[in-house]
Amino acid sequence: MNPQGLIGALLARKRLVGPPADYKLIQPICSALEVQSYKQALQLCVKQLKKQPDHYVVLTLKALALSLSSRPVSAASKAEILTSLHFICTNKNGQGLGDPDVLMFFAWILDYIGRGAESLKLFELATSKHADNEEVCVEAFLHYVRSGERKSAQQVAMRLQRLHPSKIDSGGPAVGGIASDKKYLWWSLGTVVLQVVDPIAEPSEAKAKNDELLLSLMERMVGAHYRTIMGDQVGEEQKAEIEGLPVAADALTVKEKDDKKGKGKASDVARSTSSTPPLPSSTPSRTTYENAHEFYLLTRFLSLLVEHPPKNPSPTPLVLPSLPSGKAVSPEEALLAHFDSEEGRNWCERQLGMEIWRRETELRYGGKVEGTWEKAAERLRVTLEGGDINWHTMLYLIRLTFASIAGSSASFFPSSTSEPTSTPARPSEDGLTRLSDLRGFFRALAEDAEKGSKERGYLLAVLEISALCRGRGWEGGADLPALVEEYFEKFGTKICCFDDLMNYLEVLSESERVALCEKLVVVIDGSGEMTLSQAQRIINASKVVRYLSQIGTEDVEDKAATKFLTRYFDALPLGNRSYLEKALLVLTHAATLSKYKYQLRLLIINLSRLLGACSFSLAHFRILGLKSVQFDTLSHVALSRAATFAVASGNEAGVSEEAQAATKWYILGEGEAGEMPVRSFSFHNYTRIEDFSEFQERLRHSLSKFHLKIETLRIQVLRGSIDPSAAVDVVTFLAAQSQIKTFDNRDFKTLPNLQASSSSTIWDQSQMGPRIGIEWFKAFTAIYSHFLLPAEAVEVECLQSKELTPSEIALLSFSRATRLALSAPLDDVEAEATALSFFKEQESKFTAAVEDVNTLPWELLHVAEVALEGYSLLELAIELRLEELLSTKAPDHMKLSKKLRTFRTSAKDLTRALGTRVNAYAKTVAKQRTKTSAAVASLSEFPAFDEDRITNFAHALTDSRKAMAEGLANNGRVETVCTRTQGLALQMAARNAYELISNEEEGLNSTEAKVYLKETTRTLITRRTTFLVLSVVVGLGLVFTGARQTYELPSQNPPLEECENKTFYLPAFYGDGVGYGLGSTIHVMGWQLGRAIEKGWILGYSENAMGAAFADPSCIVNGARSMDCIFEPVTHCPRSSYVNVVAGELWADQSDYKKIPTVFKNALDAHLPITYPDTALKYWWRGQSAAYIVRMSPASLEYSRHSRLNASQHFTQEVGVDVKPMPWPLPAGTQSMHVRHGDKGVEMSLVPFNDYVVAGERLASLNPFMIWKSAFVSSEDPGVFDEIQSIGTVNTWSTTTNANWKWYGSHINRINSGPFQQLDAFGNRTLTTLSWMAEFMIAMECDAFAPLYLD
């Protein structure tokens, strides 16, 4: 539950059941928290606590306000929260822990501040101090369930059952159909079930003993409960059980103590007997279960007794309404009798799931009770005669019959050891007769039944009988090929025909396969009119032939592909690398037409990644639109080895965005998954607790989630955005998880496999490298632990793992060598030489791969990426080691430091050599458009793939590959990676210097630390990242705005039918406008808009228009990459109407540079009282034209709105006060300070931030009633944001309203350079530009712009 839900629930409870004074006291605090006014809430809490220091609810609300007031939560806030909790736990012997509201709030708070494990101790303390408080125990139980602590939950539930035993016919309210006074019994049983079936626990002798003890305890509790209900006579010990089972809740503890003392056995604790005279019953008999949930839970309990049989069975028979009384039976007999009882039959008739469970139980254990298999088979036979067409019914009738004939069902349960596995070589004559009768039964249904002509199940049942006979070597399997042909002939027009037959095709002999293929080839090559049914029959025949055929040569496979494609286009009106490129082109076309396009898109994504076209694959991945748990099952499609595309320019940076989206879902999903079993217990939906708990564990220990964490780390390392301290925490977490059982929830079956049965699957053939799994996870955990946690590194033996590529194996070896080299003595140079050989090997691999024509593009990128990743990690590891040497003052630390720096320089030189080769390769990719077109040219024989289609595809694919290669060569080249990692190291050094200043005991005195800080911070300012914000020049007021728009909008947007008759002006710009910032681009485009209006033309964007650099390469609007990706289109006329085109060189004619359209000049002259100079009019026109060009599109406005309302993206900074979220809207009197640094130094002398502050203070002093000393700061220079942390005031003005500055800002990427360096660095160009616009929109909330010069 989120804070808003907790607050609402608290207010509701206090209003309904609490004292009115309490509600009146907390209501203002809760209201402030609900509107996120945390400062006000804190003030109200402090005020109230002065009056009532031990008001536990107010203390809790104060802790909540502290946790929410800043993100991340400051150390001071955490300390205060823990102090409040300590007070609640200790004051008056923990009296405050008796309030369940306090416990719920603190459980959420502790989890929010990263101390979730302490909430378990909190509830343990609460239940020990308030053991008789039912509300506290209930809340503790639900929290334990939410946290997966099943043993603790079971102990609390049994305590509740002891304190509040079940009452019969109490008339109490029922929840979910179960009387509320009996829920604790079912809670106890439910948690026992969850412990026994725990998917994480590894099988062991200790667990087996514990499971037996738990089940024996529950057997006693359940038996005691139903003895009371059914009126049986019980002894004194049973009386004690009925009155509360005083031993049961602590039985495990008693056993543990007795075992330690060397006395007592599990059976002594769990099954003590008594000879006390029976106690007469005082309650009426009830022989029915209340609902399906109660029946399900007891059925599950009985099935667990079968799976975990007690070594010392109780002599007292288990009492249940569905079991025969007074007779001790085996667990298997009890479960079968339970299902076969009147109660069992009734519930199975109502619930299909129960009926299926019953059938499986009868099949598995029917051999224990004579006649069970025959009786169950007859029941299913009657069901089918009654019109049931469920395949499950048919299948289990067949299996029960085979089990009855063979005398064993073990073959249907390969892992079962409960029955002998041997079967007769040949069934008896009676058995053969029964098999023949069963065949005749299904044949009769197929021929005589009302739905027999259309129902596939009857003929499939005959196929199943034949296949089972063949598998056992029995008579009756020889007709399987004929049955397959018969089935295909009858149902070959159904889409599912091939899937139905696949299991039976596998058991055909080689000669039978050849014969079947020969017959189906006739179907495939048959002539005649192509109908929808005929097309589906050919598709199914092709699937079968393809599946049964052997792997062909390259030429054979190519001809087969062409033949399939011909058939595809024939049916379409009804409904080496070149091969990959052809397949991708065909799939892209098919994805626009087929209703099964999600499967096609999966294959498109895989092939695009193989070809190194990441943006191509991501575009299709986003179309999939993953939701909810699909992030866990399908995100691997795009995120497996995603680091290969991490440092690319353009849309390839979207890999990082997809990783962030998946990470966000895992955080939300795990919270929701934890609530699912809680709701099952709360609403007594016991049929789902196992499923929900298993889902919770599978998500908590998801292999896909751990892969994502590793890929995120790799992307951050390569992009230079990693926080070393956070990375260490992640690696520590992963190292612990690598020792625990994980679950692979990935979906590899969504993509159908139609390859030959003798070859690998289509998924394995189309994925990037070997399929990653648990060994890959452990290997990369070890790699990162070697670099970031050398003292606690994880060691694995994965050097020959089939899950790792050769480069990844080399990276693992390099990490081990680096770990040794960093701790090697001064005279050891061999360790460094071993580590440096990694870079030489990767360069050799890359060179060889470039020369090998069979190398796929992704393999080249992968080799280069792994080498850069290795260097980046080496940089981080060396910086961490240097810090360690400096802080510990190790012997010879100066010499060791020099040695490490030399090591880093050697690695840099070797990596730079590889970077040169990558750069050369990137240049060749751009020239491969013609080669790509030629590779797919053979497809031109099909009308759908004309020359334009092929050319467009070649351009799109090559551009995507080019962007990837160039990004790796430029953004990912050695110099950039060096800069990023050094910047990270400097951040670490600066942070450590701050810590040294505050703690001189670390070995460096305050003066030294300040000098160290000054040097590192000065370098850091030039290394970190930043952004560009629009600068607005205000000339004249915006007069005649309505007249301008009235003329201009129709001129740019005539009726669509008139567009073809217009003349379009497409000014030519060199390059894509690189060199022009966003403000300059809008300025120049406004000039060109004026020219178009003057000439009577329509301004449009050329294919590489000015401003295109601010949009992502993948963003094509109206046929061109332009600013239309961000703003409203400059014209609504489609590019197809660009018939009459005027193209002009931008700077060829500058005669109208300072002019405005004549229509506006005449209007201004007529209405203005004075004549303005041309320069002033030019600025007026620039403002008007900019207003038209920069019309934010709905999507861009939504991005700005979402960004503005996301509290985590903004902050409020004030000296001496913890960081808080930025309010919305900005308070009245706020100034905007845009500090223009970066590349502006080539045009002017940069103005220090201190000058802006002085100007802002002067402005506030001159306007004390309107302007405050509060400012929204924007800049490309991250150093500015370092300065605001320590600026309270510069000059003391007597007339300023507030003493110290309050600074507002946003968390966006920053690099102290020009806009195009930023666009290159931050990945998605469109989103980067939108982040600048979002800050510009925030600046518009301000009441003033801080001027630099006021005098």
Query: What pLDDT, in 10s, does the model give residues 558-610?
Result: 777 777 666 666 655 554 556 666 676 777 777 777 766 778 888 888 888 88
Cα 1000 to Cα 1289: distance, rounded to the nearest angstrom: 28
Q: What is the pLDDT of residue 1294?
A: 59
Mean of the pLDDT values across residues 775-780?
92
Query: What pLDDT, in 10s, does the model give residues 652-665?
Result: 456 888 898 899 99
Q: What is the pLDDT of residue 320?
A: 87
Q: Do 1068 and 1144 meet the contact criterion of CB atoms below 8 Å apart? A: yes
Mean of the pLDDT values across residues 83-91?
92
Which of 16-30, 870-884, 1092-1106 has the least mean pLDDT?
A: 1092-1106
Which of 28-32, 37-41, 1001-1005, 1209-1213 has the least mean pLDDT?
A: 1001-1005
Model confidence at 357, pLDDT cuts 50, 70, 90, reads very high
Stretch (H or E) spanning 607: helix 597-610
Query: What pLDDT, in 10s, does the model give residues 682-721?
Result: 888 888 899 999 999 999 999 999 999 999 999 888 877 7
Q: What is the pLDDT of residue 377?
A: 94
Round the average pLDDT of the chain to a whole number and report it. Answer: 79
Q: What is the pLDDT of residue 488?
A: 92
The two most distant CA atoms of the chain are separated, in Å, by 118
Q: Give the CA radius of gyration of the chain.
A: 38
Nearest to 1159 by CA among 1083, 1064, 1088, 1090: 1090
Q: What is the pLDDT of residue 1035?
A: 26
Q: What is the pLDDT of residue 1295?
A: 60
Highest mean pLDDT among 190-194, 348-352, 1032-1036, 1181-1185: 190-194
Q: Do 484 and 462 meet the contact criterion of CB atoms below 8 Å apart? A: no
Model confidence at 1003, pLDDT cuts 50, 70, 90, reads very low
Handedness of CA 583, 585, 590, 596 (dihedral sign): positive
Model confidence at 306, pLDDT cuts 50, 70, 90, reads very high
**Vertex 881: Cα angle to 876 and 882 (nearest 5):** 100
Model confidence at 194, pLDDT cuts 50, 70, 90, reads very high
Q: What is the pLDDT of residue 920?
A: 87
Q: What is the pLDDT of residue 979?
A: 42
Mean of the pLDDT values across residues 163-183?
55
Nearest to 755 by CA among 1006, 594, 557: 557
Query: What pLDDT, in 10s, does the model give residues 610-657?
Result: 888 888 888 888 888 888 899 999 999 999 999 888 876 544 456 888
Mean of the pLDDT values across residues 234-253?
41
Q: What is the pLDDT of residue 417?
A: 45
**Vertex 154: Cα angle to 148 and 158 (nearest 5):** 160
Query: What pLDDT, in 10s, does the model give residues 422-456?
Result: 545 578 888 889 999 999 999 888 887 667 678 89
Which of 54-63, 1118-1127, 1173-1182 has the least mean pLDDT?
A: 1173-1182
Mean of the pLDDT values across residues 1310-1337?
84
State the pTM of this model: 0.67
Does pLDDT of 1027 surpass 70?
no
Pairing of strands 1270-1275, 1231-1235: parallel
Which of 111-120, 446-455, 1045-1054 has the least mean pLDDT?
A: 1045-1054
Cα 383 to Cα 337: distance, rounded to the nearest angstrom: 21
Q: Do 343 and 288 meet the contact criterion of CB atoms below 8 Å apart? A: yes
DSSP 311: S
Helices 1041-1052 and 1174-1189: angle between axes, nearest 10 degrees: 60
Q: What is the pLDDT of residue 693?
A: 92
Does pLDDT of 888 surpass 80?
no
Residues in a beta bridge with 1235: 1275
Length of the chain: 1351
Highest mean pLDDT among 453-462, 560-569, 1116-1125, 1196-1205: 453-462
Mean of the pLDDT values across residues 472-491?
90
Q: What is the pLDDT of residue 1160?
A: 76
Cα 639 to Cα 632: distance, rounded to the nearest angstrom: 11
Mean of the pLDDT values across residues 966-994?
49
CB atoms < 10 A from the CB of 859, how many? 22
Model confidence at 139, pLDDT cuts 50, 70, 90, reads very high
Q: What is the pLDDT of residue 527?
A: 67
Cα 498 to Cα 516: distance, rounded to the nearest angstrom: 14
Does pLDDT of 172 surpass 90?
no
Q: Do 610 and 858 meet the contact criterion of CB atoms below 8 Å apart? A: yes
The secondary structure of 1230-1243 as a DSSP string is -EEEEE--GGGGGT
Query: What pLDDT, in 10s, does the model give residues 495-508?
Result: 889 999 999 998 89
> For residue 171, which phi and psi values (nearest 5 degrees)?
75, 10
Does pLDDT of 996 surpass 70?
no
- Alpha-carbon distances, residue 832 vs 793, 816, 841, 905 (angstroms): 19, 11, 15, 12
